[in-house]
Amino acid sequence: MAELVPLPFAHLLRRVLVEWERQRRIFDLPERSFWAGSPLDLSVSFHGARAATGVGPAAGPHSQLAQNIALSWLAGARVVELKTIQVADRLKLPRPCIDATNVGYNVEWSQELRLEESLLEYVKAWVLVHLLASLNPARLRPSELSTLFDLSVGYSLAGIRSEPVWRWLDALRDARPLIARLFNELPPDLAAIADVAVPARVSDCVTLSTFHGCPAGEIEAIARHLLERHDVHVIIKCNPTLLGHETVATLLGDRLGYDDIRLHAPAFAEDLRFEDLLDMLGRLEEVAKRVGRSIGVKLTNTLVV
């Protein structure tokens, strides 16, 4: 597969406006496939903020490009978990990195884009979502437009404390310079887009992903750092290894019939244990309460096989 290349912001905007005006589609998605809203209130509260639906993509290769995020929004996604970033951003990944014909097998490590590129993609996506909300092609009610972005970072305390990552996180807490840069670079025929109101804070929630074998103390230290230094809500991704080798083997093989999945026993010895997670969350809840934020868990992340 070819190298991933983000598209210029002006190109994305022109595609949105031209496709919608001429073909009643956006990024090749026809109007009939847009989410048309619901007579029911599908909203959820996510760390105290409201999202119009509880639907959205989890972090993956699909959620690292602005146009993909915009497409998810058109289909009804209102909680978008952005692709995980890390300080090591010059990776060569095998393709395809995910095979999900039945069981989802994943050989990917992290982002395919450089940190600076990911930062700009997420801000472009944030602006696109607010442009689409203003355009409102599916004629949704105002209450059906509210959208939240959830950042995702990994994978070690040293990496997350590094200057490139903390600058990246700070830039999304206050994205006004990047939003202004995008608008200022628009050609005259698109300059009116700058009138769309775009909130400066792209996200105030970070999902933490760590490698198998990351010590419990390091996971706790990362979560504490994100709460205290970056003033964000934190979600910790937890692996199925929490339950222990015997329980997971029984669930997958005897209960669910996945006899072809071969568990990696050493991962269970090194990974976070359930009782340690409970103790950790108790301490982190106190930290989160003190800084006016919240702590949560995502069940479940990946399983080494």
pLDDT in tens, 221-240: 999 999 999 999 999 999 99
The residue with greater pLDDT, 93 or 183, is: 183
Residues 234-269 pLDDT 10s: 999 999 999 999 999 999 999 999 999 999 988 898
Residue 79: pLDDT above 60?
yes
The answer to whether 227 and 291 are in contact (CB under 8 A) is: yes
Q: Which two tokens stand for residue 251?
A: 């669930």
pTM of this structure = 0.94
The proportion of the chain whose per-residue pLDDT surpasses 70, expressed as a percent, equals 98
pLDDT by residue (tens digit) across 36-58? Answer: 999 999 999 999 999 999 999 99
> Closest Cα partner for 293 from 196, 227, 229?
227
Return the pLDDT at 224. Answer: 98
In angstroms, the CA 273 to CA 19 distance is 51
Please tell me the predicted confidence (pLDDT) of residue 1: 44
pLDDT digits (tens, 9 = 90+) for 108-131: 666 789 999 999 999 999 999 999
Give every strand in the sheet of 79-81, ordered side by side: 79-81, 148-153, 205-208, 233-238, 295-299
Amino acid at the residue 92: K
